[in-house]
């Protein structure tokens, strides 16, 4: 029984938010039975923004607990911490030899980060997509479940995999593809501040770990306008975002109900926000309870990380061996 392989990871830079959940983690959970899954915590990637050792450690623990609380099952999937698998940094070094300055500089995520942190435009930021490619291809992944914002990084991974195969004349790496259910587009969860996506660095995130009061407060603060004044009027971005979020977390008939009210110019945004907040709370409250419970169980967290590291290393070492042979490293002694 040969299941296709899946790899994905998230940087431990804070709490997981609804964008992370609906863009990535929910797909992880749905894939566990039918795919050979590797889900990890990208702690090496997070060093590009220079976390303190304390923040790094608590971030890793938080994301591990959140993965488990969301329903990633360590018996079905390999859950691991990136830095526990040193093979990946070795492959990253090899891939760097065939990654070119021009293409790395043109990546939007690099340009964005360089703009956000002009005082810290480090080489790790530049080669971020190379490390990401190593994460993916070291397990010979076929699919990568990520949100829309990772599309270009994934495109780079495909490019590096193809380049390596071509250079060494062997299809050692499958070409990884983005994964979405039903062939739908990669998802982008909007923020509630009027424009753009929900994100940690955007400061507009609703976290799985937020308590219900915090969630209600955040949703009630969402940007709206004075309301439509013509029947069936097109929605401005801020309003569309509210509807998009409702379509993601609420029952279809709830979103439809408010859509009808909008079209009839009878919508009251306050009512819509209250409903949206309650629907988010019912989604997140059980997850939040489990996060709290799991965070208290150090032994369990340690056990999961250890088991994941062993499984991931075994898979990574196998590929790395093949890679080194292809490159021409021979054992002389």
3-state secondary structure of 176: coil
Q: Does 19 bind ligand ADP (CB under 6 A)?
A: yes
Among 31, 132, 249, 287, binds ligand TRP (CB under 6 A): 132
Write each residue from 169 to 188 as x if it is in contact with ligand ADP (CB under 6 A), else as -, in one continuous string. ------------------xx
Q: Is 3 a catalytic residue?
A: no
Residue 189 three-state SS: coil
Please tell me which residue in 159, 200, 311, 324 is annotated as part of the active site: 200
> What is each CA distance from 181 to 125, 146, 175, 186, in whole angstroms?
30, 12, 19, 9
* Shortest Å, Cβ 188 to ligand ADP: 5
Closest to ligand TRP by CB, 71 vs 199, is 199
> Pick the catalytic residue: 140, 197, 218, 273?
197
Please give the angle made by the CA atoms of 233, 239 and 241, to the nearest 5 degrees: 130
Q: Which of 63, 146, 281, 291 binds ligand TRP (CB under 6 A)?
A: 146
200 to 239: interface string for ligand ADP, x by CB under 6 A: xx--------------------------------------
Task: Please provide the DSSP assignment of 26-58 as one string.
Answer: HHHHHHTTTSEEEEEE-HHHHGGG---HHHHHH
Pick the closer one to ligand TRP by CB: 9 or 190.
9
Q: Is the dihedral of CA 115, 117, 122, 125 positive or negative?
A: negative
45 makes contact, choosing from ligand ADP, ligand TRP, none, with CB < 5 to 8 Å by partner type, with: ligand TRP
Residues in contact with 58: Cβ distance below 8 Å, sequence separation at least 6, in sequence order: none
- Asked whether position 239 contacts ligand TRP by CB under 6 A, the answer is no
For the CB of residue 272, give the shortest distance to ligand TRP in the complex, in Å. Answer: 30
Pick between residue 186 and residue 285 the one whose CB is nearest to ligand TRP: 186
Q: Residue 252, class by beta-carbon neighbours within 10 Å (0-12 exposed, 13-18 middle, 19+ buried)?
A: exposed
CA atoms of 77 and 6, how far apart (whole Å) = 10
Can you state the percent helix, strand and coil of the chain, rounding each to 5? Answer: 60, 5, 35
Is 192 near ligand TRP (CB under 6 A)? no
Task: Quote the DSSP letter at residue 71.
Answer: T
| Binding range to ligand TRP, per CB under 6 A, among 114-122, 130-138, 218-226, 275-283 | 130-138
Q: Tell me the C-alpha distance between 293 and 21, whole Å.
A: 19
303 is annotated as an active-site residue: no
Q: Which of 135, 222, 273, 294 binds ligand TRP (CB under 6 A)?
A: 135
CA neighbor of 128 nearest in space, from 42, 1, 18: 42
What's 120's DSSP letter?
G
Among the listed residues 5, 6, 7, 10, the single contact to ligand ADP using CB under 6 A: 10
How far apart are the C-alpha atoms of 219 and 210, rounded to whole Å? 12
Cβ atoms of 258 and 249 closer than 8 Å:
no
- Interaction pattern, residues 7-46, with ligand TRP; x per rule: CB under 6 A: xxxxx------------------------------x--x-
- Which partner in ligand TRP, ligand ADP, none is near 19 (CB below 5 to 8 A by kind)? ligand ADP
Catalytic residues, by residue number, are 113, 197, 200
Interface contacts to ligand TRP, rule CB under 6 A? 7-11, 42, 45, 132, 135-136, 144, 146, 150, 153
Interface contacts to ligand ADP, rule CB under 6 A? 10-11, 19-20, 23-24, 146-150, 187-189, 197-201
């Amino acid at each position: 029984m040969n299941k296709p392989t899946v790899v994905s990871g998230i940087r431990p830079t804070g709490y997981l938010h609804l964008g992370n959940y609906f863009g990535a983690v929910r797909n992880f959970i749905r894939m566990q039975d039918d795919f050979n899954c590797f889900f990890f915590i990208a702690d090496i990637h997070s060093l590009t923004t220079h976390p303190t050792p304390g923040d790094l450690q608590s971030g890793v623990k938080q994301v591990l607990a959140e993965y488990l609380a969301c329903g990633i099952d360590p018996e079905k999937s390999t859950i691991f911490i990136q830095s526990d698998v040193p093979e990946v940094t070795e492959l990253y070094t090899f891939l760097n030899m065939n990654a070119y300055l021009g293409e790395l500089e043109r990546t939007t995520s690099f340009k964005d980060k360089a703009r956000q942190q002009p005082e810290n435009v480090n080489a790790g930021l530049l080669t971020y997509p190379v490390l990401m490619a190593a994460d993916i291809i070291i397990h010979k992944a076929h699919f990568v479940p990520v949100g829309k914002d990772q599309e270009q990084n994934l495109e780079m991974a495909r490019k590096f995999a193809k380049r390596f195969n071509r250079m060494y004349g062997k299809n050692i790496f499958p070409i990884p593809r983005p994964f979405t259910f039903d062939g739908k587009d990669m998802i982008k969860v909007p923020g509630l501040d009027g424009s753009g996506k929900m994100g940690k660095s955007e400061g507009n995130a609703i976290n799985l770990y937020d308590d219900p009061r915090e969630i209600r407060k955040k949703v009630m603060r969402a940007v709206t306008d004075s309301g439509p004044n013509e029947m069936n009027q097109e929605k401005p971005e801020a309003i569309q975002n509210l509807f998009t979020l409702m379509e993601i977390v609420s029952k279809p008939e709830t979103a439809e109900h408010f859509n009808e009210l909008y079209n009839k110019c009878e919508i009251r945004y306050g009512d819509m926000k209250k409903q949206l907040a309650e629907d988010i709370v019912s989604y997140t409250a059980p997850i939040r309870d489990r996060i709290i419970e799991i965070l208290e169980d150090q032994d369990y967290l340690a056990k999961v990380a250890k088991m994941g590291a062993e499984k991931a290393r075994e898979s990574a070492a196998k590929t790395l061996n093949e890679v080194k042979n292809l490159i021409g490293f021979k054992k002389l002694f």
